[in-house]
């Protein structure tokens, strides 16, 4: 183990139930492949022999249940093997959930499968556990719905949003979640305290839409949900966890890495006999991220939205007249003068009328690159050419400086 600096091809042999933990170097990607045996990255099996390329800064683990040999080409910030992991307890949870999905499917009117919510402090591995549970379920043919309530480090779409999407295949270790038609609500800030009521209203809206979709779809109803949450667990953060459990009718609460939160939730949920609260160990492999790193990865995700992970998308620059657009800011948060935010990422809404804006999911995002006050025109970057699907723009406090 230790830090690798030499750029050479090397092999790592993994014993059963151990993992290779890797932080890719800051400036160069890493290539990796499975030479023999079987291994997975956060629940998704690696194809044999095929080289995969991981971008700089990427942090991940290659885990094997039965033993494997891995080959790496490139430099890493760190790489080491660990034989103490909580993976057996995680997969046991998966097995219980799977049983419940089968029960739901077998029941005459095809009842509700498990609704799992993953909670815990920042950097406890919530997103990673959610991902594993989803990928293991998808591998078995289920179509669980992934709900991401993390507006700071969410993994479905751009930051500042809450979103949901069905997971039909194990999640790609590099590309992440493949998006057909995610259901996205724009909150516009990276912390819920800026407008708690709006955050709650959007969570409720998302839950209601999903509930409606489940009514007409026995398969996704039986597959259930996996809900990822924010790492904010004190005060209002705790209140928002309870709000989410309640709003989504979660019946399995997985608490990662915090005894106090576990005991608080267990006590308060005692009155609901159909809700199971489980404590799970945090993995020693979870990497803590500084607020600077978090800010950077938010920027990176916005960039990824327009340009793609491998720079394979080409956004279009367009010009619109002020008179063709309506820009809204949803009240409640601290106000900044418009002139203080000349540049930023703004979503456009599916809303048909202004009073539908809060309850409408967003169609996509544009990046305002220039405002010409004299000619009353804005220049913006859009993922697609042509007209915007709506004339309503919603503004948040997220900004992005393209570099």
**Residue 214: CB atoms within 10 Å:** 20
126 assigned ligand-binding residue: yes
Using the rule CB under 6 A, which residue among 286, 302, 351, 393 binds ligand ATP? 286
Residue 386 phi, psi (nearest 5): 90, -170
- Coil, strand or helix at 163: strand
Q: Is residue 123 a contact residue for ligand ATP (CB under 6 A)? A: yes
Using the rule CB under 6 A, which residue among 18, 64, 76, 127 binds ligand ATP? 127
Q: Is residue 160 a contact residue for ligand ATP (CB under 6 A)? A: no
**Residue 329: CB atoms within 10 Å:** 17
282 assigned ligand-binding residue: no
123 assigned ligand-binding residue: yes
59 assigned ligand-binding residue: yes
Q: Is residue 61 a contact residue for ligand ATP (CB under 6 A)? A: yes
- Coil, strand or helix at 303: helix
Cα–Cα distance measured from residue 389 to residue 362, given in angstroms and rounded to the nearest whole number? 10
Taking the complex as a whole, how short is the minimal distance between the CB of residue 330 and ligand ATP, in angstroms?
A: 24
Residue 308 phi, psi (nearest 5): 85, 160
Taking the complex as a whole, how short is the minimal distance between the CB of residue 46 and ligand ATP, in angstroms?
A: 15
Taking the complex as a whole, how short is the minimal distance between the CB of residue 155 and ligand ATP, in angstroms?
A: 8
Q: Is residue 126 a contact residue for ligand ATP (CB under 6 A)? A: yes
Nearest to 144 by CA among 133, 154, 153: 133
* DSSP strand pairing (145-148 vs 115-119): unpaired
Taking the complex as a whole, how short is the minimal distance between the CB of residue 400 and ligand ATP, in angstroms?
A: 19
Site string for ligand ATP, 219-248 (x = CB under 6 A): ------------x-----------------
Using the rule CB under 6 A, which residue among 40, 150, 205, 304 binds ligand ATP? 150
Q: Is residue 190 a contact residue for ligand ATP (CB under 6 A)? A: no
Contacts of 296 (CB under 8 A, 6+ apart): none
Q: Is residue 304 a contact residue for ligand ATP (CB under 6 A)? A: no
* Contacts of ligand ATP in 2-21 (CB under 6 A): 19, 21
Tokens of 146: 């992934």
Cα–Cα distance measured from residue 158 to residue 184, given in angstroms and rounded to the nearest whole number? 9
Nearer to ligand ATP, 127 or 220 (CB): 127
Nearer to ligand ATP, 25 or 395 (CB): 25
- Coil, strand or helix at 151: coil
Angle ∠(62,67,68) on CA atoms, nearest 5: 60
Ranges of H-type helices in 25-116: 87-106
Annotated binding site: 19, 59, 123-128
Which residues form the interface with ligand ATP (CB under 6 A)?
Answer: 19, 21, 59-61, 120, 122-128, 150, 153, 231, 283, 285-287
């Amino acid at each position: 183990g230790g830090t690798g600096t030499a750029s050479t091809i090397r092999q790592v042999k993994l014993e059963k139930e151990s993992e290779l933990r890797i932080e890719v170097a800051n400036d160069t990607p890493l290539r990796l492949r499975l030479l023999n045996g079987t291994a997975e990255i956060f629940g998704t099996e690696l194809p044999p022999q095929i080289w995969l390329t991981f971008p700089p800064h990427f942090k991940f683990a290659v885990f094997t249940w039965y033993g494997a040999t891995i080959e790496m080409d490139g430099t890493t910030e760190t790489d080491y093997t660990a034989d103490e992991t909580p993976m057996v307890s995680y997969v046991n949870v998966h097995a219980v959930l799977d049983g419940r999905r089968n029960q739901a499917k077998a029941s005459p009117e095809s009842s509700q499968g498990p609704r799992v919510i993953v909670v815990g402090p920042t950097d406890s591995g919530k997103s990673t556990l959610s991902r594993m549970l989803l990928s293991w379920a998808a591998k078995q043919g289920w179509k669980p719905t992934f709900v991401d309530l993390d507006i700071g480090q969410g993994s479905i779409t751009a930051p500042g949003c809450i979103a949901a999407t069905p997971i039909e295949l194990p999640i790609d270790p590099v590309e992440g979640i493949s998006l057909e038609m995610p259901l996205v609500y724009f909150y516009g800030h990276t912390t819920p305290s800026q407008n708690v009521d709006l955050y709650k209203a959007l969570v409720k809206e998302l839950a209601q839409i999903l509930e409606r979709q489940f009514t007409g779809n026995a398969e996704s109803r039986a597959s259930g949900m996996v809900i990822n949450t924010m790492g904010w667990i004190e005060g209002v953060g705790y209140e928002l966890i309870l709000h989410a459990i309640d709003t989504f009718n979660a019946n399995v609460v997985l608490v990662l890495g915090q005894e106090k939160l576990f005991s608080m939730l267990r006590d308060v949920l005692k009155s609901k006999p159909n809700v199971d609260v489980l404590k799970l160990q945090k993995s020693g492999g979870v990497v803590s991220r500084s607020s600077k790193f978090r800010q950077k990865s938010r920027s990176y995700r916005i960039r990824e939205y327009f340009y793609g992970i491998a720079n394979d998308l080409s956004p279009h620059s367009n010009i619109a007249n002020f008179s063709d657009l309506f820009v809204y800011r949803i009240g409640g948060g601290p106000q900044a003068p418009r002139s203080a935010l000349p540049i930023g990422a703004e979503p456009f809404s599916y809303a048909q009328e202004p009073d539908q804006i809060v309850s409408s999911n967003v169609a996509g995002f544009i990046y305002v690159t220039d405002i010409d006050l004299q000619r009353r025109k804005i220049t913006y970057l859009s993922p697609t050419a042509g007209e915007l699907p709506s004339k309503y723009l919603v503004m948040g406090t997220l900004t992005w400086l393209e570099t």
